[in-house]
């Protein structure tokens, strides 16, 4: 297999890709019509060293598009690479999730994915997978478990793949963290378990990401397959609402299902994005793109000026709502606990706004308004459809 058969290909995990879909949907149902379509295009260059000895550089182009519906999401992505030494490589994936109606804190999900790659030397690969998951949700986090079955093709033989999943995620302020454990079996001969952790921090103009993984199981004989750990870091610097500079570096593991070696990567490029591609736009991939490996995105419908939404217990069954919106001149809240009457928040210094009011235990619907603008979902909350065809935030008081 020639070098262009290996460079570069999308290795974002199935778990992380689905977590992106969960955050996009807000872990809850949405309106029946397509809520939004989000797209990005990354154009840049990358350097890769794989199989412990082979180095390559290439120009890359990575488009992505995602559509969200009431209880479903569909995403397509790909990467086309032109190697400096000649040759080309392409790969793509199609992922979809269907969610059940929420039953209290419980939510079901059915995931389907298909993908493959093609290269100048005639090499082809492919993979299909179906996974069922059960999610247990809280106001700022959740846990899930699931199992799936599929097939993988290394260009010569189709093999059966079985996976299990368990994980947890948490959101606090500007940070979101994810941890997952994924046992995998290929036919009856290959068994291993990947443990992964990811962290994303969203600042006013910069998104930072980091990830790490560890593989346990039988010893493998594969090019670039000796390493059992990997990690990476990424930065997305938003120059304008739809324009960003993206960079990433790190290592990635052997793809044991399709026979691709592990290696090291570094990438730099420009991202062109649709208007809602980022929850918190600045105040003013795939492939080797580490930001796409992290896989995080955030729900649509939030106000870009609201960075943080918090709720703390007060006396007498009251709650203190805190909103971090440094650029706002005024912030209001409305919810079922206020009979949907707007309640203004007071400045508290440091860009924070607060209000204390009665909010009972249970599940509530709530929205925020900044400077008299449209009502938006507070960041970090689930998103549900209201009876008027709009969206509201799902606030759980335990």
Strand 243-252 to 263-273 pairing? antiparallel
Burial class (CB in 10 A: 0-12, 13-18, 19+), 245: middle
Same domain, 10 and 155: yes
pLDDT digits (tens, 9 = 90+) for 200-233: 887 778 889 999 999 998 655 555 455 788 999 9
Identify the residue with better confidence: 80 or 392: 80
pTM for the whole thing?
0.66
CATH of the domain at 332: 2.60.40.10
Q: pLDDT tens, 150-182?
A: 999 888 889 999 999 999 988 776 788 999 999
Q: Domain for residue 353, yes or no?
A: yes
Given a contact cutoff of 8 angstroms between Cβ atoms, the answer to whether 111 and 92 are in contact is no
For residue 389, give its domain range.
Answer: 308-397
Range scoring the smallest mean pLDDT among 29-33, 79-83, 259-263, 354-358? 29-33
Per cent of the chain over pLDDT 90 is: 35
Same-domain status, 159 and 199: yes
Tell me what pLDDT residue 34 has: 40
Domain count, the chain: 2
**256 against 82, higher pLDDT:** 82
Which residues are 90's β-sheet partners?
80, 118
Mean pLDDT, to the nearest integer, of 318-329?
88
Does one domain contain both 43 and 167? yes
Asked whether the predicted pLDDT for residue 69 surpasses 50, the reply is: yes
Residue at 299 is within a domain: no
- Same domain as 333, residue 210: no
- Domain of 12, CATH number, reads 2.40.160.40
Span 37-45, average pLDDT: 91
Average pLDDT over residues 97-126: 87
State residue 33's pLDDT score: 39
Please measure the distance between the N-terminal and C-terminal CA atoms of the chain and give it in whole angstroms: 56
Q: Give 363-391 pLDDT, tens digit per residue.
A: 888 999 988 888 888 888 877 776 666 78
């Amino acid at each position: 297999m020639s070098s262009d058969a290996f460079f570069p290909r999308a290795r974002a995990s199935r778990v992380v890709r689905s977590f992106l879909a969960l955050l996009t949907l807000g872990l809850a149902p949405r309106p029946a019509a397509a809520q939004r379509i989000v797209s990005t295009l990354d154009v840049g260059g990358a350097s890769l060293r794989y199989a412990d000895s082979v180095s390559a550089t290439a120009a890359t182009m990575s488009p992505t598009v995602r559509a969200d519906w009431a209880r479903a999401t569909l995403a397509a992505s790909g990467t086309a690479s032109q190697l400096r030494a000649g040759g080309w490589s392409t790969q793509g994936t199609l992922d979809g999730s269907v969610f059940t109606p929420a039953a209290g804190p419980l939510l079901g999900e059915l995931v389907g994915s298909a993908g493959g790659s093609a290269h100048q030397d005639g090499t082809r690969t492919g993979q299909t997978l179906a996974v069922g998951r059960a999610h247990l949700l809280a106001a700022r986090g959740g846990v899930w478990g699931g199992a799936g079955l599929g097939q993988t093709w290394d260009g010569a033989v189709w093999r059966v793949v079985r996976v299990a999943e368990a994980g947890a995620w948490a959101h606090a302020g500007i940070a979101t963290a994810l941890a997952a454990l994924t046992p995998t079996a290929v036919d009856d001969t290959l068994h291993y378990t990947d443990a992964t952790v990811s962290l994303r921090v969203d600042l006013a103009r910069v998104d930072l990401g980091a990830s790490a993984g560890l593989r346990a199981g039988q010893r493998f004989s594969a090019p670039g397959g000796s390493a059992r750990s990997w990690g990476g870091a990424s930065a997305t610097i938003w120059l304008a609402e739809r324009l960003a500079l993206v960079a990433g570096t790190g290592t990635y593991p052997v793809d044991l299902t399709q026979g691709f070696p592990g290696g090291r990567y570094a990438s730099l490029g420009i991202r062109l994005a649709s208007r809602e591609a980022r929850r918190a736009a600045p105040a003013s991939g795939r492939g080797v793109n580490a930001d796409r490996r992290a896989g995080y995105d955030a729900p649509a419908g939030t106000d870009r000026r609201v960075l943080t939404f918090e709720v703390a217990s007060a006396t007498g069954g009251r709650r203190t709502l805190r909103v971090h919106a440094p650029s706002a001149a005024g912030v209001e809240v409305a919810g079922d606990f206020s009979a949907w009457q707007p309640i203004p928040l007071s400045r508290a210094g440091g860009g924070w706004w607060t209000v204390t009011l009665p909010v009972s235990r249970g599940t509530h619907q709530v929205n925020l308004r900044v400077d008299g603008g449209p009502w938006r979902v507070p960041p970090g909350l689930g998103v549900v459809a209201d009876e008027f065809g709009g969206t509201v935030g799902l606030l759980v008081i335990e």
